[in-house]
Structure 1
Amino acid sequence: MNSTEGLYPFSLTPEQEERARELHESSIIIDLLFQGPLSPKAIPDAVSESIREACEPYKEDSWTYSAMPSKIIHDMAARGEIAEFKEEWYRSGITAGNRQLDVSSVEKILISMGDIQRQFDANDWLVKAVTAEQIRAAKANGLKAGIVTAQETDGLGKNLELLEAMYNFGLRVLQLTYNNQNYIASGCMEEANGGVSKFGMRFISKMNELGIIVDTSHCGKQTTLDACRLSTAPVIASHTGVEAIFNHKRCKSDEEFQAIAATGGVIGVFAMPWFVHGDPKDTTIEHVLDHMDYLVRLVGVDHVGIGTDWPMSDVAWSLVYFKEHIAPRIGFAKGDGPSTETVKGLEKYSYFINFTRGLVARGYSDEDVRKMIGGNWLRVFEAVCG
């Protein structure tokens, strides 16, 4: 990447540009909903077309057809067949990003464990981080850290031994529910604002005991408030937005943010065009920074982070298919789901320095920038996981 590619026009002075570059290069940077490092704009067209040909025989099975491209991409990356997998991560400057387990069923848990472990085994520059010190060591040694996370709990049923097994594998961040109702709690797309169940109380207690961070991103309001009341450790929202700026069910209220902050937790702002601004085709990184600014004013800089959740490690044609055929079946409103739009200034993960540049442009101190681009996540990770 050349020195100016992907730089958002913040109109920084040369001195500010140099300061932002030095900050970005020297800081521990954590994206706690890191769908990358690849994205449709980073995957060569020839690779995208070869994946389409491989998936075509499965088009009658919409779930399989939708999921295949991402799996193929990760398989190719693990075999070293997509050089951009490593290149994009290193160009981004991100020290640690999550590697996500699928916990929708027991079968999916086993499959995704194998897929994630293969990433670690196949790439000597990528280490599984289960403690804060391992993240620091990755930075010091020029490596990248993967944090094992999950966004749903359905596949666990009421089996707390299975939760412990996932912890032993490396799981360190777990969302209580993904949009909908489960044994543990109500999601943000449920009409009934049910909160945490009696079993959910036991579940949160077990997470605290093991050292797994409680994530409330897709949870309903009462679930978020209950989790903050019940947890003895910091609670987070790894990827969300500010309801007062853009009133969407995936965004949260001031009351929820204040409850999360009161636990010592952190709110990660996402970079999903449909959830941060009214026009997804004209959403910029400035709009994302607006959400971060609001949170700093509301709860303080110690409780604000980044969890982009976008762009996906996928190809464009697959994302369009997902929006049309899959998203409405997992709790998204019609037409309101991931597709090909991206935040201007984060079309590729290699443009991640725009967060640092944007925070510098808005007048934040070096210390505050370091906190928001990774230091706050590291603090919570150390407090809960060790």
Structure 2
Amino acid sequence: MTYTESVIQAGGTPILISITTDSLVLTDIANRLDGIILIGGGDIHPSYFNESPIEQLGEVDSLRDVYDMALIRLATRRNIPMFGICRGEQLINVAFGGTLYQDIPTQHPDTTVCHQQQEPSSIPTHTVHLTPGSAMASITGQTQLFTNTHHHQAVKQVAPGFSVTGWSSDSIPEAIESSHEYPIWGVQFHPEALATAGDSISARFFYFLVQKAATYRHAKEIHRRILSLDTHTDTPLDFDVSYNIGTREKTQVCLPKMREGKLDGQYLACWVRQGPCDEENSLKAIDRVDELIRHIYRQVEMNGEQCAIARTPDDLSRLKTEGKKAFYIGIENGYGIGKDLKNITRFHDAGVTYITLCHTRNNDICDSSSDTTARWNGLSPYGRKVVKEMNRLGIMIDLSHAAESTFWDVLKYSKAPVIVSHSSASAIYRHDRNLTDEQLRALAAHGGVAQACLVDEFLNPDAKKTNLTDFMKHLLHMVEVAGIDHVGIGSDFDGGGGVKGCNGDNDFINITVRLLEHGFTETDIAKIWGGNFLRVMKQVQTK
């Protein structure tokens, strides 16, 4: 087959997958794949895009439709590089919510191109125009391709999250790609037929996919060897009686998504909204933290065969060896410890390993970066006692949300390194939640670690356009300024985190792929993905 020959020619090893609708078999297959080519074939049943069949609809293989859609879903969840050819491109479009022309001559009657050429597939017969700057133009090095055509269905309305980046002269879409930075591309023509006939430009599609697959495979192999940890999420806010973190939930964090994204451990933060700092409301905040901790333990107890509570760096390593995911507990907003230092001990005994001193408003401990009026000009007298007590107990001090004055006070008074669990780089985008270069250097000099955050509004002035590339700019800058030993990742998933290209635990593998493409070594990646944070945790806990 020309498909397999093209992959072999590009240096890949092709595997043909038999059609099956057995979900367990398909899942096992997907877990082993490094890349996918969805090949040509018969028509797609229009029920998949909410239309009734027209008379001109061709032969439909219902079993294959079910199989292909299931495979696309599994591949997408795992971010497996995926390339669709002809029917494959149409499948991608339909799977993500787009529509098709069921029959071009009938539904696009002003066509000027014969899309079902009589010549052999190895002979090009029409021109495709590619969008300059698109992935397709980058892959081929061209903005026009002279190629073949063998189809009577085609993309009509492009799916949300995708862009048409190639057209024939009669405006029929000929190429699509993810506009959300996911590894998904498709073409309407048949480059495999031209590639095996000696066309070097068509062969570039397969060299591109094989290289993407090799990088993806490398990323998966690295995750098998390293410890990976996301240091901030707000998922406990969703832990109602019907929620089960062991099933695939709508939340960005859950055990199935952790497995798909190759993540070993995750912080679950007990967030409390800042309220009045009187005795009554402080007690309510303490009760809320207690409640959230109970909810976390309930989720873990419900899924004891899959996960456990972790308290130390060694716990993460042990649980990975046991085949389990690790959940660490943090408190977001020191308001939740109330006015009595004894509560810090109580929460420590319950498994809390870091406390974020404040949130978006000043509290009894310190000033917040988001509050427009300073209350303490840094740490309060009580806040200094909190820092001392956290040092004594071996609880990490988290300076995300802290005002710069608070930041400098904590570095002055803390005897242990500190963390910033979910913030990014002010030099890339000025935001009160981000760290200046001066702060990054000081944090590193103090032995601490800054965890780059995935909240869109912290990364780009146009939050709706924020993507993984924007996040990588922040992460790379933080590494450059603070050094490779002082940077990590804290998503803030289920609390505002998530960008195009990384919007859930299952997408974390995309960050590792990007790090590899930027030339980072496995040693570097291990540090970013948890090694640096775990080093600080160990230092803090070694009292």
Q: Compute the TM-score of the two structures, normalised by the length of structure 1.
A: 0.79
User: Is the aligned partner of 1:16 residue 2:215?
Assistant: yes
Opposite residue 372 of structure 1, the aligned amino acid is: I
Larger Cα Rg: Structure 1 or Structure 2? Answer: 2
Aligned with 1:121 (options 292, 301, 304): 301
Opposite residue 284 of structure 1, the aligned amino acid is: N
Q: Which of 1-10 and 262-271 deviates more?
A: 1-10
Corresponding residue of 1:380: 536
Q: Would you say the 8 A contact 2:341–2:386 is kept in 1?
A: yes
Corresponding residue of 2:509: 353
Q: Would you say the 8 A contact 2:220–2:262 is kept in 1?
A: no
Return the alpha-carbon distance in structure 2 between the equivalents of residues 83 and 179 of structure 1.
28
Opposite residue 335 of structure 2, the aligned amino acid is: D
Question: What RMSD, in angstroms, separates the aligned Cα atoms of the two structures?
Answer: 2.2
Which structure is higher in RCO with an 8 Å CA cutoff and minimum separation 6? Answer: 1
Corresponding residue of 2:191: none
Aligned with 1:89 (options 248, 252, 258): 258
Q: Would you say the 8 A contact 1:281–1:342 is kept in 2?
A: no
Corresponding residue of 2:288: 108
Opposite residue 253 of structure 1, the aligned amino acid is: T
1:316-335 deviation line (CA, Å, top 9, x unaligned)? xxxxxxxxxxxxxxxxxxxx
Shift of 1:86: 2.7
Q: Compute the TM-score of the two structures, normalised by the length of structure 2.
A: 0.57
Q: Would you say the 8 A contact 1:270–1:310 is kept in 2?
A: no
User: Is the aligned partner of 1:263 residue 2:446?
Assistant: yes
Shift of 1:272: 1.0
Aligned with 1:228 (options 403, 407, 411): 411
Identity among equivalent pairs (%) = 28
Task: Report the CA distance shift for 1:246/1:81 in structure 2 as closer, same or farther (over 3 A).
Answer: closer
Q: Would you say the 8 A contact 1:179–1:186 is kept in 2?
A: no
1:157-213 deviation line (CA, Å, top 9, x unaligned)? 220111110000011010111121111100011224511111111110000000100
Corresponding residue of 1:41: none
Corresponding residue of 1:176: 357
Task: Report the CA distance shift for 1:91/1:368 in structure 2 as closer, same or farther (over 3 A).
Answer: same
Corresponding residue of 2:321: 140
Q: Would you say the 8 A contact 2:247–2:255 is kept in 1?
A: no
What SS is found at the alignment partner of 1:240? coil
Return the alpha-carbon distance in structure 1 between the equivalents of residues 462 and 489 of structure 2.
21
Task: Report the CA distance shift for 1:171/1:219 in structure 2 as closer, same or farther (over 3 A).
Answer: same
Task: Report the CA distance shift for 1:118/1:378 in structure 2 as closer, same or farther (over 3 A).
Answer: same
Corresponding residue of 2:420: 237
Task: Report the CA distance shift for 1:71/1:21 in structure 2 as closer, same or farther (over 3 A).
Answer: closer
Shift of 1:16: 2.8
Task: Report the CA distance shift for 1:377/1:249 in structure 2 as closer, same or farther (over 3 A).
Answer: same
Corresponding residue of 2:342: 161
Corresponding residue of 1:302: 485
Structure 2 gap segments, 5+ residues each: 1-26, 34-74, 81-181, 185-207, 274-284
Return the alpha-carbon distance in structure 1 between the equivalents of residues 449 and 416 of structure 2.
12
More helix as a share of residues? 1
Return the alpha-carbon distance in structure 1 between the equivalents of residues 260 and 319 of structure 2.
16
Q: Would you say the 8 A contact 2:264–2:320 is kept in 1?
A: yes
Q: Which of 28-37 and 280-289 deviates more?
A: 28-37
Shift of 1:101: 2.0
**1:196-235 equivalence runs, <5 A:** 196-235=379-418
Structure 1 gap segments, 5+ residues each: 38-66, 313-337
